[in-house]
Amino acid sequence: MNKLILGLIAGLGLAPAAHAADAPRFLPRHDAAITYRSTGSDPQLPPTVIVRYFAAGDRVRIDGGPIGYLLLDRVMERVELVMPQPRLVIELPPGGGLTDSFILGDIFSFHRAGADRVLGRACTLYDVSTKGGKGRVCLTDDGLLLRGEGRGRDGHAASVEAVAVSMATQPAGLFSPPDNYRIMGVPQ
């Protein structure tokens, strides 16, 4: 799946540049589940992605990939790929690749670009620049990404737009790998 769009839908985190007082909030303060329609030039991009936020644990779950789902634990700075078919969890190494986008956030700059509405919810448009590419996001004041589009260094363009938003409490069990799965680390 396109790394840039994964970073957008996961919430890029608070990068050093985003610590300014006028910085937009990139992660919700509350539990939420957002279903996105995705489009792009990357053939691995799934047509639908579901992103769940668990505010109490500062965790994110992304469903939509062909082989499993991603779990992001921002407190422990860990990204895990959970694959149900082989009952396997792959811990991605810190300090590179996908981990940087999700855990550290890699926003270098953001600029307010207007306002819009998605699913009847008001959101602010921001042009963002990351080490992986450039894009535009539409964020609510409470940190929900309702629309994102961009182009990565690899040249692939991708976009997501929320088609359903639920503010329901998310079950904590969705944000940890099953106990009976084998855990593997990826060599660094």
**Tell me, what CATH number does 35's domain have?**
2.50.20.10
Residue 185 resides in a domain: no
Domains in the chain, number: 1
Listed ranges 5-9, 151-155, 183-187; the one with the highest mean pLDDT: 183-187
- Residue at token pair 């940890």: 176
Q: Is residue 155 in a domain?
A: yes
**Cβ count near 28 (within 10 Å):** 20
How confident is the model over 16-54, as pLDDT tens digits? 344 455 667 777 889 999 999 988 876 777 889 999 999
pTM above 0.75, yes or no: yes
Query: Does residue 23 form part of some domain?
Result: yes
Q: Domain residues for 75?
A: 3-169
In a domain, 133, yes or no: yes
Based on its alpha-carbon atoms, the radius of gyration of the chain, rounded to whole angstroms, reads 16
- Tell me the C-alpha distance between 9 and 3, whole Å: 10
Report DSSP letters for 145-178, one per residue: EEEEEEEETTS-EEEEEEEEEE-PPPPGGGGS--
pLDDT band at 99 (very low <50, low <70, confident <90, very high): very low
